[in-house]
Chains A and B, each alone.
Chain A
C-alpha cells in the first residue's frame, strides 16, 4: 500500500510541526509514508470563494501528484472534504457546461482514496489506541467539515479517549462553527470574531489546558482569539497529541 501525506499548503507553510507529527505517528504505526514534493494546494480557498475555474488547474494538479497512491492522508478535514465533495461537484459542473466527462475522469482516482487523518487511522489502519501519551486536560472541537461534510462522527474522540494520561473535557456547543470559514473570517470580520470568541469562552469553561481539533485553519482562528482574550489555553492539532509518547512527549 502506497501512502502519501497531503499536508496542505497551510500546514506546510505555517504548521510544520503538524506534518512532522503525522509522519512520526504513521511511521510508528508501520506505515511508510511518502511526501510528494510536487504537492501544493487542493484549491479549497479558491473554490469556496467562487473561483471555481481557477480551482480546476489545482485539482488537476492534485490528481497528477497523488493519483498513483493507494491512500492520500491529510491532517485537515476541510481539505479532505474539498477533494471528496468539491472535486466530484466540479466534474459535474464541467459536464453541465458541455465540457464532457474529461474533468471527472481526471479527478475520479483521488476522490475515494483521500482520507482525513483520524478517518485513515480508524477505518483503514483499524486502530483507535495509537500508543500515545499526553498528560493534559484537553477539549475537542469537531470542525464543521470533519463533522458534517466527512461525517467523522466519534472517530477523533475514540482516538483521544485511548490516549494515556489524557483527560477529555466535553466542549459545550461543540458542533457549532468556530467562525473561521476561510475567507469568511476576512469578509465578515465582526460575525467571525464573535463566533470565535464564543467558541473560546466555551472551551475555557471546560477548564482544559488544550483545545484540540483536526484542522489547523480553525485552530489559527481560535488560537489567535485565545491569545487576544488572554485565556492561557493553547490550540493543538490532534496529530500532535496522537504522535506524543512517553519517550518523546509533545509540549
Chain B
C-alpha cells in the first residue's frame, strides 16, 4: 500500500490523540450520528431490504468464487469495446503502468476522481516522482490534497475538518495549485463550494488525461460504473482525451442486471439517498464522444491472497458504502487516521491486515481495534460479518498459521509482543480445565481481598487508570453453593441432578 502510511504507530497510540481532541470528537460524533440516522430512515423505506442484502451477498460471493472467469470475460468485453486492459499484481506495477500511460500522452497534469485504489497504491506520489501533477477533483479529496492531509473516511474523506479549517486551507493553498480562492472567502458552504467549483472547472477544461476508479465493472459488457454526488466524476470521465481507470479486481459483477441490487443498496447505505445524483457508465471508447483512449488497470495488490482465505475473503464483498464507519463507536472516537490506511473504520480493520499482511505494528493492531459490538455487521449491505473476520485475524496475529502471500503458501509465526498475554491465556486455560485450581484461586482472592491494590500493574494498569476495580467478594459463589446446598447431589456431569419436571409449564 501507499508509502505514506509506513511506520504508523499501533492503533491504540494513534487513536489516543483523537480521543482527547474535543473538537475532532465533536465533529465526528455530529457527522456520524447524523448520517447513521438518515441511513436508517432510507433503509427502512425499502420493504425488501433483507432480500436485497442477501442478493448482494450472493452476487459478490459467486463472483469472487469465479473471479478468474469473470475477469477474463471483462478483459474480452473491454477490449472488444475499444479499451485496453492492463494487469497489475501490486502497487509498484500499477504505478509504473499508469505513469507510462500518462507519459505516452506527453502530458504532465492529470485530473483524478473517485479512486480509493489509487490512494491505496500511492499513485499521486509516484506520478509526482515522474514529474506529473495529479489534481484531485472530488471536493473532499481536494480539501485533503490542498491541506497536505490524509483522507479519514471512505465517503467523506475530510470528515475531520470543519468549515473554518476548510476556508483557511482554500485561502492559503489554492493559489499554488491553480485559480486562487477569493481573498474575502467566508466559511459559508455556498461560498466554499463556489470557490472549489471555479478552481476545479479550470482544471477540467484544461486536462487531457483523466484518472478514475470505479464502483463496479460489468463483465458481460465491459462497462464501468461510478456513482457520485457532485458531477465532478462525469466531468473527469468525459472531458479528457485519455481516460485511465484503476480498479480493484473485486469490483467485478457478472452482468448488467446485477447492478439492480447494488444501485439500490449502495446509495441508501452511504449517503442515505434513494439514488445517487450522478450515475455514470462508460464502455470502451465511442467515436466523437468522450475519451479517445481508454485504459483499464486491474489491480490485485493482495486481493487474490485475501481471496484464498475462507473466512477473510468476505471482506472483498465490500462496496465501500462506509455504513460501518458511521455506526462504529471506535471509529467515532479514534477518527479515521488512526487506522493507518485509506480504508479506515471496521472494514479497514479487516481489509488492511489482509491486503498488506500483519507484519507491521499498525496492521497487527488493527484486528484489535474493535469491541466486537457487531453494529457494523448489522448495517453492512453485503452482510460482511466483520466481527467474525476480526476474531479470525486476531488468531492470525497471536497464533500465526498458514496464509497465502504473493500467491505462495506460507506459514506465519505468531506476532511478537504478545508474550505476556499468551502466557496469561495459557495459565487461564490451564486453570479453567481444573475446577479445583480455579476454586483455590478464588478462595485465595477472597481471603486476601482487603490487601488488593486499587490499581493494577503491567498491562492491567490501563484499566485502573480510568476505572475503579470491582471489589472481590468475601465468598465466591461456588463456596456459597456448597455451604448452603451442599447436601444436594451436584458434583458434576455424571450426577447432574436431582431436578424434576415440577414447576415448569
Contact = CB atoms under 8 A, between A and B. Distances in A.
Contact of A51 (B333, B374, B395, B505): B395
19 contacts: A2-B496, A4-B496, A12-B478, A32-B502, A37-B478, A37-B492, A46-B429, A49-B425, A51-B429, A68-B494, A126-B505, A144-B373, A191-B15, A191-B330, A194-B19, A195-B330, A220-B470, A224-B470, A228-B468
B292 interface: no
Contacts of B11: 188
A1 B504 contact: yes
Interface in B1-23: 11-12, 15-16, 19-20
Interface in A138-177: 144-145, 148-149, 175-177
Interface string B448-475: 0000000000011011011111101101
Interface string A12-54: 1111110110010000011111111111110101111111111
A61 interface: yes
B398 interface: yes
A33 B499 contact: yes
B119 to A, nearest CB: 25
A54 B429 contact: yes
B394 A48 contact: yes
Given A4-B496, A12-B476, A45-B428, A37 B482 contact: yes
Interface residues of B, number: 83
B27 interface: no
A54 to B, nearest CB: 5
B487 interface: no
A30 to B, nearest CB: 2
B492 A32 contact: no
Contacts of B438: 9, 40-41
B473 A16 contact: yes
A189 interface: yes
A180 interface: yes
Interface string A100-143: 00000000000000000000000011100000000000000000
For the complex of A and B, the 9 pairs showing the least CB-CB separation, nearest first, are A30-B503, A181-B371, A50-B394, A224-B467, A189-B462, A177-B373, A193-B466, A16-B477, A19-B477
A36 B398 CA distance: 33
Contact of B467 (A2, A30, A43, A228): A228
B477 A225 contact: no
Contacts of A12: 442, 476-478
Contacts of B334: 191
Given A37-B491, A228-B466, A52 B399 contact: yes
A189 B494 CA distance: 43
A31 B503 contact: yes
Interface in B370-407: 370-375, 377-378, 388, 391, 393-399
B502 A20 contact: no
B493 interface: yes
A91 interface: no
A146 B372 CA distance: 12
B188 interface: no
Contact of A193 (B368, B395, B467): B467
A89 interface: yes
Contact of A185 (B373, B388, B463, B497): B463
B477 A7 contact: yes
Contacts of A33: 499
Interface of B: 11-12, 15-16, 19-20, 25, 310-311, 329-330, 333-334, 367-375, 377-378, 388, 391, 393-399, 421-422, 425-426, 428-429, 431-435, 438, 442, 445, 459-460, 462-463, 465-470, 472-473, 475-478, 480-482, 485, 488, 490-494, 496-505
B348 to A, nearest CB: 15
B490 A225 contact: no
Nearest to B441: A13
Interface of A: 1-4, 7, 9, 11-17, 19-20, 23, 29-41, 43, 45-55, 57-58, 61, 64-69, 89, 93, 96, 124-126, 144-145, 148-149, 175-177, 179-197, 220-221, 223-225, 227-228
B505 A125 contact: yes
Contact of A16 (B469, B475, B494): B475
B333 A194 contact: yes
Nearest to B439: A37
Nearest to B15: A191
Contacts of B481: 19, 23, 35, 37
A2 B502 CA distance: 10
A57 B433 contact: yes
B391 A47 contact: yes
B19 to A, nearest CB: 4
Contacts of B492: 36-38, 65
A20 B445 CA distance: 19
- Name the residue among A11, A17, A34, A228 with the largest chain B CB count within 10 angstroms: A34
A190 B425 contact: no
Contact of B504 (A30, A35, A52, A197): A30
A13 B421 CA distance: 21
Nearest to B391: A48
- Name the residue among A4, A186, A227 with the largest chain B CB count within 10 angstroms: A186
A191 B433 contact: no
A49 B15 contact: no
A30 B503 CA distance: 4
A16 B476 contact: yes
A179 B329 contact: yes
A54 B425 contact: yes
Given A9-B432, A58-B433, A188-B11, A67 B493 contact: yes
Nearest to A220: B470
A64 B485 CA distance: 22
A163 to B, nearest CB: 21
A20 B19 contact: no
Contacts of A66: 493
Given A34-B490, A36-B496, A16 B369 contact: no
B454 to A, nearest CB: 10
Contacts of B25: 194
Nearest to A33: B499
Given A35-B481, A195-B329, A48 B372 contact: yes
Nearest to A54: B429
